[in-house]
Each structure stands twice: as C-alpha cells, then as structure tokens.
Amino acid sequence: MSTPVESNAAECGQRGESVRSDCWVAVTLAKAGGIELDFKSKVESMYGDSIRELILDGLSRLGVVNAKVEVEDAGALPFVIMARLEAAVRRLGGDVGAGLLPEVAPNTDQASERDRFRRSRLYLPGNEPKFMLNAGLHKPDAVILDLEDSVAPPEKDAARILVRNALLSINFSTAERMVRINQGDRGLEDLDFIATHNLHLVLIPKVESPVQVQQVDQRIQTLLAKEKINQPVYLMPIVESALGAINAYNIATASPNIVALAIGLEDYTADIGVARTNNGRESVWARSQVINAARAARVQPIDTVFSDVSDMAGLRASVLEAKSLGFDGKGCIHPRQIAVIHECFAPTADELAKANRIVDAFEEAQAKGLGVVSLGSKMIDAPVVKRAQRVVRMSGQ
C-alpha cells in the first residue's frame, strides 16, 4: 500500500466498508492548479467543513501547494486525519519540517514515576486508530502503543506518526504511556518521532546486550536535551532470547533510566527450539533469571502476555503463577484481561491484614524513635517491613 503508484503520488491509511475510525489519504502532486480536494466522509453532515479546513491547512503547513488530494474518511478523529495526511506527504519525499503536530489534549502532561505500578500493560497496535481512544478507560496501569510486531513493515512509517499524534491527543487516563519501538536502527528512528511527545516509557524489544539499551537511551537523551525536556523517559528492555536471558543482569543495569525488565516468551521459546506450553515448564529458568536480574538491579520484573483472550480461567492461573514466581506485572492484549490481572496481583485479605499490622508496627516504632520493630513478641526484620509495604501498595490502599 505504501508503494507510490508513480513517483509523484502516495497514499496512506485504510479504506473500505469495514474500516472504522481511520481514513485513507492519497496525494498526487501537480505542477499547477492549486489543491483539488476530493473528499468523502461518513461524518460529512457533522464535521465535513472542519475536516476540509483541517486538510487544506495541513497541506499548506506541509508545503504542498499544487496537488490532487483524495480522502475517504470513516469517522477518523482529527489527530488520525493529520497523521495520515502527513504520512502520505512524507512518502512523496521532500521536507515537511516538524510535521503536523496536533494540539496537546488536556490532562495528558502528568509525569510518570520510577516505581509506579506496572501490573497490567495493554498492547495497542500502532497503526490501528480504532482501539486507541478508549484504551485508558479500561484502567490499565499502562498502554503500549506498539510499533513493532503488530505493524506490517510497509506501514512502519505511518504508524510512528499515528502513535506520536496519539501520545499528544489522547487522554489515556491514569495509564502510563509506553511505546514499543522496533529493533535496531528502525527503533532509533522511531525515537526521533516520539521521544519528545508526551512519552513516559520505551519498551526495547529483543534485547541481548546492554549496548542496545545504551543506544536507545543516548538517542532519547539527545532528543530530550534538544527540546529542553526534563521529564525522564524510562526504559523497559524485553528479554526474548537465550542470549538475552544469559545477559539479563547486565541488561537490567545498562542505564539508570531502566525501571523494569520484561520477558517475551513467544520469541524466547522459538529461540531455544521448543513449543510454548500453558504450564510453561520450558521457560521457568528464563523467567526466574529475569526476575532475579531485575530484583538485583532494583527494577520491576514483568511477565509476558497471556494470549488466549477467551480463556479467563487460564489467564487467572497464569497471573497467579507469575505472582508466585516473583513478577510484578503481566502484559495484556485485551482490555477484559486487565481486571483479572489486577485482582490476581492484589494481596489476599489475609496477606493484607498481616502486612498492615507490620507496617503499623514499623511506623509506631519510628514515631517512638525505636531502632527495633516488633510485633507482639516477634522481632520484625527490615526486609519483612519492606515486603509488607509493597503488599500494602499493591492492594491500592
């Protein structure tokens, strides 16, 4: 789709009966004659005038003066139309400057925190606008706008513009805003588009060595410095291979901006040459390795996704297992998985009651200036207090 029919023509986006919330844009440059706009929209009667204005203004900002422009709109929001238009014009080559940045939506500028909850992170395909708008309403701890596996290679350029615009335009509610970039140089180029636009965290796929993390970190630091942005962009490397698992601790400590270390099992099991099973025996070592590396590096260990959306009992078992191994979070590919994940990571009533007693005793001891914490006749060690504090935090109290 991204291959121009002729060198002065390019298109972008989706069209057809089943398309929702997206639009298709085709631009054919001309020598003269100004802009000839051929526009069809499912929301013509409501937003036709404002969309035409948006397109004409956008073309002028992108430096397109003479062209035939066709647009088929299936209820795309303004940030989507802008992204498709910009991507189509970029495909023609030429200089588009900073591109067509949408206005920043209200209440999207909160910073993240290093040790915030990352129990659930909801994957959203980076080139599919229809899932983006309401993702935050399902209250995941994070959304991941994915530029990697869920985006077909010819659409990578379009997806990074759409994702950039989504970061600016969508209020993802309380969710941390994450982007999974591509591997290697393409991933570094992804950063040029997204790093300075309301981004909290970058997931780096298929990490096997600390250098990969450092390259990403340096690129981000350069981009942030250029825009004088002080808010940090955190990193979450994903271990997805035997070599990555072997190097897990070095990866987890590769940058001070790393806040979590994740494991991806589809690729890992393929790499070690076994099938991925539900009981997961084949990956116990790698998962424990990632957990221990992450804990040693004082970052959060995060488990892979559970991919059978219809199997809620399987998901529950999988999350409870992840929790028992030591993981702090789990990936999800469907919003209905979020509540189950949160529920499973939450401490049981007994765990919480016990933790509360320990934390209370600790606080009481501190208030009295006592060096030793005791509960009843028992002495409480520092790590026990720390674990109790984490339990209380996990309960959301």
Partner 1 sequence: MDVALTENAAGRDVPTRINGQDAIPFMGVGKYRPRGHKAAPSIRTCADYPDDGNKTAADLRTALKNAGLADGMTVSTHHHFRNGDILGNAVFEAAASLGVKDLRWFPSAAFPCHAPIIDHLKSGVVHHIEGSMNGPLGDYCSTGQMQGMGVLRSHGGRWQAVQDGDVHIDIAVIAAPTADPFGNANGVTGPSACGLLGFALVDSMYADHSIVVTDNLVPFPCIPWQIQGNNIDQVVVMDSIGDPSKIVSGTTQLTKSPDRLLIAEMTARFIRDAGILADGFSFQAGAGGTALAIAIFLKDMMIEAGIKSRFIRGGSTKYLVEMLEQGLTDYILDGQTFDLDGVRSMRENPCHQDTSPFTSYNYHGKGCFASMLDATILGATEVDVDFNANVVTHSDGRLLHGIGGWQNCLFGKCVILPIPSVRDRIPVIVDRVTTLCGPGDLIDVVVTERGIAINPRRQDLLDAVKGTCLPIRPIQEIKTEVEQICGGKPQLPKLGEKVVAAIKWVDGTVIDCVRAVGG
Binding site for partner 1 (CB under 8 A): 20-21, 42-50, 54, 74-78, 105-106, 133-134, 137-138, 334-336
Radius of gyration of the chain (CA): 24
Kind and range of the H or E run holding 369:
none
Cβ proximity to partner 1: between 5 and 309 the closer is: 309
Cβ proximity to partner 1: between 42 and 357 the closer is: 42
Return the SS3 of 330: strand
Smallest distance from the beta carbon of 46 to partner 1, in angstroms?
4
Smallest distance from the beta carbon of 122 to partner 1, in angstroms?
10
Among residues 124, 177, 130, the alpha carbon closest in space to that of 147 is found at 124
Smallest distance from the beta carbon of 126 to partner 1, in angstroms?
18
Cβ proximity to partner 1: between 4 and 48 the closer is: 48
Cβ proximity to partner 1: between 175 and 251 the closer is: 175
Among residues 173, 150, 174, the alpha carbon closest in space to that of 163 is found at 150
Angle (CA) 301-120-237 rounded to 5° is: 40
Give the integer Cα–Cα distance in Å for 253 and 234: 13
Cβ proximity to partner 1: between 21 and 300 the closer is: 21
Please, which residues have CB within 8 angstroms of residue 277's CB and are 6 or more apart in sequence? none
Smallest distance from the beta carbon of 305 to partner 1, in angstroms?
16
Smallest distance from the beta carbon of 158 to partner 1, in angstroms?
19
Cβ proximity to partner 1: between 54 and 188 the closer is: 54
Angle (CA) 92-93-97 rounded to 5° is: 115
Cβ proximity to partner 1: between 54 and 365 the closer is: 54
Smallest distance from the beta carbon of 20 to partner 1, in angstroms?
5
Residue with tokens 């016990």: 354
Smallest distance from the beta carbon of 220 to partner 1, in angstroms?
29
Contact (Cβ atoms closer than 8 angstroms) between residue 172 and residue 142 = no
Q: What does residue 302 show for φ and ψ, rounded to 5 degrees?
A: -125, 130
Smallest distance from the beta carbon of 137 to partner 1, in angstroms?
5
Strands 120-125 and 142-146: parallel
Smallest distance from the beta carbon of 129 to partner 1, in angstroms?
10
Residue with tokens 């991507």: 87
Cβ proximity to partner 1: between 3 and 45 the closer is: 45
Give the integer Cα–Cα distance in Å for 171 and 177: 10
- Distance from CA of residue 222 to its chain's centroid? 21
- Distance from CA of residue 285 to its chain's centroid? 26
Please, which residues have CB within 8 angstroms of residue 380's CB and are 6 or more apart in sequence? 358, 361, 362, 373, 374
Give the integer Cα–Cα distance in Å for 333 and 152: 18
Give the integer Cα–Cα distance in Å for 129 and 377: 59
- Beta-bridge partners for 68: 28, 36
Smallest distance from the beta carbon of 228 to partner 1, in angstroms?
28
Cβ proximity to partner 1: between 156 and 164 the closer is: 164
Cβ proximity to partner 1: between 24 and 249 the closer is: 24
